[in-house]
Amino acid sequence: MKALVVGGTRFIGAHVVRRLHDAGAQVTAFHRGASSNPILPEIEHVLDPGAEYPITAFPAELLRDWDIVVHMVAMGEADAEAAARSFAGRTKRLVLVSSCDVYRAYGRLMKTEPGPQEAVPLHEETPLRSVLYPYRGMEAQLGAYVHDYDKILAERAVQSTPGLDWTIMRLPKVYGAEDNGDLSTVYGFAGVSEWRWTHGHVENVAAAIVAAVSRPEARNAVFNVGEAVTPTMGERLASLPARGDEPPVPPPFDYRQHLVLDTGKLRAELGYTDVVDERAAMAELAVASALRKCL
């Protein structure tokens, strides 16, 4: 298998590259060359200063035939359209990494989407947000790219491109040693102990993406990714080491709206199973984070 990974050097992307390589794929990573990762195997790298958000052009050397293109960093309409246009007819399938923030429930949580709370768990046919650009106004905190960020528009761009087969992977909140290693997305919500938010360890999320790459059943389909069971924040914290500092005040969201993903389709149709135990992995990471703070 000849696989192109767009944005494959950091966090989830690096784990996807490693798993594809270990499975026997011939992997090429396209990126700026601004970061490296010790877990990356020996693969082909194509570097371009323009490979930053949003990536709206690809160098000529990448416009060749691929068995699969995995786009880790398509943030909105413009860059997803550019990838779809560039690789339609050149790849058997484009795998787009998306987010659970596409769901209307996310808008309810953020108080940007009017209406009652959505029932959970959220499955792949659950309604999406009607209010676009969820992070506009947060450019100073998150980066200029969020002005045009919307995974809904990215999904539509690849789904509507003639001659392009696709797979969409809607990710949960991902955690691992390289990112969210302090589990701030758990400890930071101690004040809303009954709230539930689906998480996924980076190894499991990467394995799910590679499962979609490998299985023809994933063609032209959408899959939620994340833990099989989503506990409350209180249940998570009960199994993690306590922290002595005062817990932060959680953001002013509507915590009556849970963000729980139904990941049964991924498991049933692609035969996916977790490669690490979520509960044990989170506990191990919390202990490591606590030790670092003590040093």
Q: What is the pLDDT of residue 232?
A: 98
How many other C-beta atoms can be found within 10 angstroms of the C-beta atom of residue 47? 12
For residues 153 and 76, what is the distance between their CA atoms, to the nearest angstrom?
6
Q: What is the pLDDT along the chain (295 residues), one digit of tens a residue?
A: 999 999 988 899 999 999 999 999 999 999 988 667 889 999 999 999 888 889 999 999 999 999 999 999 999 999 999 999 999 999 999 999 999 999 999 999 999 999 999 999 999 999 999 999 999 999 999 999 999 999 999 999 999 999 999 999 999 999 999 999 999 999 999 999 999 999 999 999 999 999 999 999 999 999 999 999 999 999 999 999 998 788 889 999 999 999 999 999 999 999 999 999 999 999 999 999 877 766 5
Contact 170, 99 (CB under 8 A): yes
Q: What is the pLDDT of residue 246?
A: 84
Residue 281 corresponds to which tokens in the numbers above? 């992995």
Containing domain of residue 255, as a range? Answer: 2-294
For residues 71 and 88, what is the distance between their CA atoms, to the nearest angstrom?
13
Please give the C-alpha separations between residue 97 and each of 154, 222, 243, 293, in angstroms, as whole numbers. Answer: 9, 10, 33, 33
Q: What is the pLDDT of residue 295?
A: 57
One-letter identity of residue 201: H
Q: What is the pLDDT of residue 294?
A: 64
Q: Indicate which CATH number applies to the domain containing 224.
A: 3.40.50.720
Residue in the structure block whose two tokens are 């930053």: 52
Distance of CA 40 to the CA centre of its chain: 19
Q: Three-class SS of residue 174?
A: strand
How many other C-beta atoms can be found within 10 angstroms of the C-beta atom of residue 201? 27
| E strands in 107-172 | 166-171
One-letter identity of residue 206: A
For residues 208 and 171, what is the distance between their CA atoms, to the nearest angstrom?
10
Residue in the structure block whose two tokens are 């099989």: 228
Who's near 234: CB < 8 A, 6+ residues apart? Answer: 190, 193, 194
Distance of CA 220 to the CA centre of its chain: 18
52, 56, 62, 65: CA torsion to nearest 10: 130
Kindly report the pTM of this predicted structure.
0.96
Q: What is the pLDDT of residue 247?
A: 83
Q: How many folded domains does the chain comprise? A: 1
